[in-house]
Amino acid sequence: MTKLQFVALSVLISISAMSQPASFEPRGIGGGGSLFFPTINPYNDDEFYVSCDMSAMFHSSDFGKSYDQVDFRKLQTAALSTYEFTNNPNIAYCNYNDGNGYFPTKTTDGGKSWNVLTAYGVNEYDDVYRLKANPHNANQLLVGSYNHIFFSGDGGASFKLIKQADDNGAGLILGGVFWDGSNIYIGTNDGIIVSNDGGNSFSVMSATGFPPGHVLWSFAGAKKEDSLRFVCITASKNDVYNGVMPWDNYEFAKAVCVMDNASGTWLPKSSGIDFSTDFIMYGAMAHNDINTIYLGGTDNLTGGPLVMKSEDGGTSWKKIFNTRGNQNIITGWEGDDGDKKWWWSESCFGLTVAPFNSSKVMFGNFSNIQLTSDGGNTWRQAYVDPADENPAGQPTPKHKAYHSIGLEPTTCWQIFWQTDSVMMGCYSDIGGIRSTDGGESWGFQYTGFAVNSVYRMVKDEAGTIFAACSDVHDMYQSTRLSDALLDAHDNDGKIVYSTDNGQSWATLHQFNHPVFWLAVDPNNTNTMYASVIHTGSAALPSEGGIYKTENLNAMGETSWTRLPEPPRTEGHPACIEVLEDGRVLCTYSGRRDDQGAFTPSSGVFLYDPASNTWSDRSSTDMYYWTKDIIIDPNDATQNTWYVCVFSGWGGAPNDLGGLYKTTDRGLNWTKLTGSNFHRVTSLTFNPMRPNEAYLTTETQGLWMSQTMGQDIPDWNLVDSYPFRQPERVFFNPYNEKELWVTSFGNGIKVGSVETTSTSVAWIPDVKNFNIIPNPAESMITIRYENSDIREGITLRIVNAAGILCKNITVTTVETKADVSELTPGVYFCELTQGNKVLARGEFIRK
């Protein structure tokens, strides 16, 4: 008698016909990642856009109470990108980033499509650093590269050079622009560039008043009737270059100056500003208010964002973003005494005033959006549901749950279900977040650890949760492959555990190196393996590799042994899978040496605990940058594996990316994706449709196949998923319709996979589900144990494509079925009640 492995679904999933999710909804805690240089619509100051350095452009039409995002196929952005409104609602401009460079781009249909302005020579003049459009004239825009500024008066059909940098080392900084009819004033570190004839000609204004050695850094202007006023922030000429970022603010600013009526004379306006602690970076004004000026940066006294305001044209200044005690700030999860303190945001990543309403001001930062509608008297968070926010003037509560409003700008690696309602999210930057209502709301609802990144969670037979942690974020992405970053001492490099559903945590073992993956041995739940990252050197030998403990039940007293190093490897282990026969399957990911070259140290490796040796099961295409490995859930022998590979650069690593398959445990490999994908991260099978799987890519979005049984599957883009870099896909084991997608930079999204049936009650205790004999030629017997047989139980036999072949009413715990008429192949027996699958097993019709 052969007892077949089965899925006893106390969580029950329908296998009714499924299609792509029609839409995805955001989930998460809101915020948590950097947001840059928001812009407000001059003609509707409830609307704004804000960019993220992880490629998403977020959009709000209700001044930060909810967000949507621009689909990655239309527009991708980065830290220097701004959405530039014009007086034509169909026309806007943006600094587009495709992951390799910045290009000027334009929409003429209200954002439905975007096109690169090819008249700008990126190859000749380098990436775009700043792009500014005239809000009063949709045909006029400025493009700044590192050393040049260009003007277009025909909507980007052509560009002309208006100035090259005086110092190519420092570059030419487009610090701001004020458009005044036929007059255009551009603030740069080489002075104010002026046109008085609508852009036909430009010259540098002769100006005086700056302290010696100062140059202009940030510039804004306003006009009221016939009065014109400019404001600027100066910095030391030796500190200024085109590429200074918002966090480069330590004692950067040196003075604030004002010029009236383009007179050429700058007047000092720094009274009340202490430049040794008030690290201002950006000045901003409404276009029609010459008296109200805002400054933004970091308050070194509090460690949080700084906003200062003048209502008299710069004569006097006061601080208006009062973080101590959250005095005038309605907070989310960040705030004085909150889960994260104000140092988490730290600074203003740009400062924006509504062009025609000086009472509306906003800024991005390292984590979220903050804004005001009353000139800074009261500020409001704009990253969690307003129903969840906390009143001003009171401490921000700890361990509170929040609902997402769509502003999800950081990385989630894994969704982990402890129960149908208790979930954990493994994130970079914000560590772990927890939900107790099935993922509707999330918070830092736990105690015992606080780390930058949680990469992986698993649980043992007793329900104890284990988490792999590190202080290093973005592991094995293109910026996290070198020893300088990954070999440094890592205080957060550890495994933590929880015995109470994630509510409290303690340290299991401290490695002081990043821990990336965990796997519990299914044959012995006292045995666990961990991926620990460290390459080492001649002076400091490697401490990285696959570690093993055999006394997991000792919890904080566990002992760990480092396994021998697999051949070719250099201390960058990634995924681990423990096979049912006790062997350990793992991948090693990419490594770049001190010269930046990829080393042939990556791949797939199989460990035999009996001999304590590794075998290299890699294709040569996997030698440089391998990612996830997936065991085919439909192969009971576990001989079929899928491996995801990134293309590298520099020669041999080029053009290797894609999905690979083996059916003989890595002795032979077939590439399943041709040249369709540059970099593939992961693959997830639909647990109820053996031929359906979801594939994640670095920049090409989320894909799916419903033909995984073919030699070369067909792949289709999941059109409703809007972000370029999904990381992994997880099916909710407690809800048959939910498809959860994590991402590198866009948090979590949930899609609904519709089915054709409805839910009914189910049997709670199906045990020992057996199919006898297996393989079979004619009759099979299906047996199971259950103490509470109810009506409406059916045995379904379906083929590998999910097509129903037989349907038998079940009245006892033993049922016979004639399978002689079935075509030889793989089939599945499913014990069902209504649309619920109670147990499932595979058999072979020989």
DSSP letters, 226-262, are TEEEEEEEEEETTT--TT--TT--TT-EEEEEEEETT
Can you give the pLDDT at residue 825? 79
What per-residue confidence (pLDDT) applies to 6? 30
Mean pLDDT along residues 589-613: 98
Q: Are 686 and 702 in contact (CB under 8 A)?
A: no
> From the CB of residue 537, how many other CB atoms can be counted at a distance below 10 Å?
9
Partnered with residue 647 across adjacent β-strands are: none
Give pLDDT, residue 809.
87
Using CB atoms within 10 Å of the CB of residue 607, give its burial: 0 to 12 exposed, 13 to 18 middle, 19+ buried.
Answer: buried
Mean pLDDT for the stretch of residues 627-648 = 97
Rounded CA gap, 470 and 486, in Å?
Answer: 10
Whole-angstrom Cα distance, residue 733 to residue 727? 19
Mean local confidence (pLDDT), 757-782: 68
Instruction: Tell me the C-alpha distance between 238 and 816, whole Å.
Output: 86
Residue with the bigger pLDDT between 237 and 774: it is 237
In the chain, the amino acid numbered 840 is: R
Q: How many CB atoms neighbour CB 132 within 10 A?
A: 22
In the predicted structure, residue 477 carries a pLDDT above the cut 60: yes
Q: What is the pLDDT of residue 784?
A: 79
Residue 814 scores a pLDDT above 90: no
Q: Print burial letters for 173-182: b (CB count within 10 Å at least 16), e (below 16).
A: bbbbbbbeee
pLDDT tens digits for range 415-435: 999 999 999 999 999 999 999
Q: How far apart are CA 66 and CA 291, in angstroms?
A: 32
Mean pLDDT across the chain, nearest whole number? 94
- Assess whether pLDDT exceeds 90 at residue 597: yes
Write down the residue that tokens 């340290």 correspond to.
507
Amino acid in the structure at residue 520: V
* 581 CB neighbour count, 10 Å cutoff: 11
CB 745 within 8 A of CB 410: yes
Tell me the per-residue pLDDT of 296-349, one tens digit each, with 9 for 90 and over. Answer: 999 999 999 999 999 999 999 999 999 999 999 999 999 999 999 999 999 999
Q: Has residue 4 got a pLDDT over 60? A: no
Neighbouring-strand partners of residue 565: none
Of residues 612 and 806, the one with the higher pLDDT is 612
φ/ψ (deg, to 5) at 343: -65, -15
- Mode of pairing for the β-strands spanning 329-330 and 379-381: parallel
Cα 660 from Cα 667, distance rounded (Å): 12
pLDDT at 277 over 90: yes
Q: What percent of the chain has pLDDT over 90?
A: 85
Q: Are 38 and 369 in contact, with CB atoms under 8 Å apart?
A: yes
What is the model's pLDDT at position 8?
33
Percent of the chain with pLDDT over 70: 95
Residue that wins the pLDDT comparison between 7 and 264 = 264
Q: What is the DSSP string of 285-346?
A: --TT-SS-EEEEEEETTTTEEEEEEESSTTSS-EE---TGGGTTEEBSSBSTTSSB-GGGT-
- For residue 2, the model assigns a pLDDT of 32
Q: Does pLDDT of 832 surpass 90?
A: no
Superfamily of domain 6-10+762-845: Immunoglobulins (2.60.40.10)
pLDDT at 700 over 60: yes
- pLDDT at residue 837, rounded to an integer: 73
Residue 750 CA from chain centroid, whole number: 14
pLDDT at position 836 is: 67
Query: Looking at residue 759, what is its pLDDT?
Result: 34
Q: Do 81 and 36 touch, CB atoms closer than 8 A? A: yes
CA angle 8, 11, 12 (to 5 degrees): 85
Interior/surface letters 133-150, b for 16+ CB within 10 angstroms, e for the rest: bbbebbbbbbbbbbbbbb
Q: Check residue 17 and give its pLDDT.
A: 37
Q: How far is CA 94 from CA 79, 213, 408, 624, in A?
A: 12, 34, 21, 35
Residue 582 exposed, middle or buried by CB count within 10 Å (0-12, 13-18, 19+):
middle
Question: pLDDT tens, 496-512?
Answer: 999 999 999 999 999 99
Interval 798-820 mean pLDDT: 83
Own/partner pairs for 549-556, CB < 8 Å, 24+ apart?
549/509, 550/524, 550/526, 551/526, 552/460, 552/520, 552/525, 552/526, 552/527, 552/528, 553/526, 555/464, 555/497, 555/506, 555/508, 556/506, 556/507, 556/508, 556/509
173, 159 contact by CB (below 8 A): no
Strand partners, 258: 231, 267
* DSSP state string for 92-159: EEEEEE-SS-EEEEEESSTTS--EE-TTS-HHHH----EEEE-TT-TT-EEEE-SSEEEEESSTTS--
CA 114, 118, 120, 125 torsion-angle sign: positive
For 476, the 3-state DSSP assignment is coil
Q: Which residues neighbour 208 within 8 Å (Cβ) at sequence distance 6 or greater?
A: 264, 265, 266
Closest CA to 254 of 223, 224, 233, 285: 233
Specify whether the CB–CB gap between 144 and 164 falls below 8 A.
no
- The pLDDT of residue 786 is 66
* pLDDT for residue 690: 85
More confident residue, 806 or 826: 806
Q: Is the pLDDT of residue 441 over 60?
A: yes
Q: Is 386 helix (H, G, I), strand (E, B) or coil?
A: helix
Give bridge partners of residue 454 from the DSSP assignment.
469
Q: CA 364, CA 345: separation in Å to the nearest integer?
A: 9
Chain center to CA of 436: 22
35 in Cβ contact with 364 (< 8 Å): yes
Q: Taking the CA atoms of 337, 339, 344 and 346 in sequence, report the sign of the dihedral they define.
A: negative
Instruction: Answer whether residue 765 shows pLDDT above 70.
Output: no
Cα–Cα distance between 411 and 405 in angstroms, integer? Answer: 16
Average pLDDT over residues 779-784: 86
Handedness of CA 750, 751, 753, 758 (dihedral sign): positive
Query: Domain map of the chain by residue range?
Result: 6-10+762-845
Confidence band, pLDDT 50/70/90 cuts, at residue 801: low
Q: Other CB atoms closer than 10 Å to residue 261's CB: what's the count?
A: 12
Q: Which residue has the higher pLDDT, 667 or 830?
A: 667
Cα separation, 409 vs 55, in Å, equals: 9
Place 802 in a pLDDT band, splitting at 50, 70 and 90: low
Q: Is the pLDDT of residue 491 over 70?
A: yes
pLDDT computed for residue 20 by the predictor: 86
Residue 221 CB neighbours (<10 A): 23
**pTM passes above 0.85:** yes
pLDDT digits (tens, 9 = 90+) for 726-754: 999 999 999 878 999 999 999 999 998 76
Q: Please check the confidence at residue 18 and state whether its pLDDT lies above 90.
A: no
pLDDT digits (tens, 9 = 90+) for 117-168: 999 999 899 999 999 999 999 999 999 999 999 999 999 999 999 999 999 9
Confidence band for 782, pLDDT divided at 50, 70 and 90: confident
Output the six-digit token pair for 620: 């040569």
Average pLDDT of the residues in 436-444 = 99
Report the residue count for the chain.
846
- Cβ atoms of 129 and 161 within 8 Å: the answer is no
The pair of structure tokens assigned to 239 is 């500190």
Q: Spell 451-485 as b/e; 16+ CB within 10 A means b.
A: bbbbbbbbbbeeebbbbbbbebbbbbbeebbebee
Taking 3-state DSSP, the helix, strand and coil percentages for the chain, each rounded to the nearest 5, stand at 5, 40, 55
pLDDT at 620 over 80: yes
pLDDT(10) > 70: no
pLDDT at 1 over 50: no
Confidence band of 356 (pLDDT split at 50, 70, 90): very high
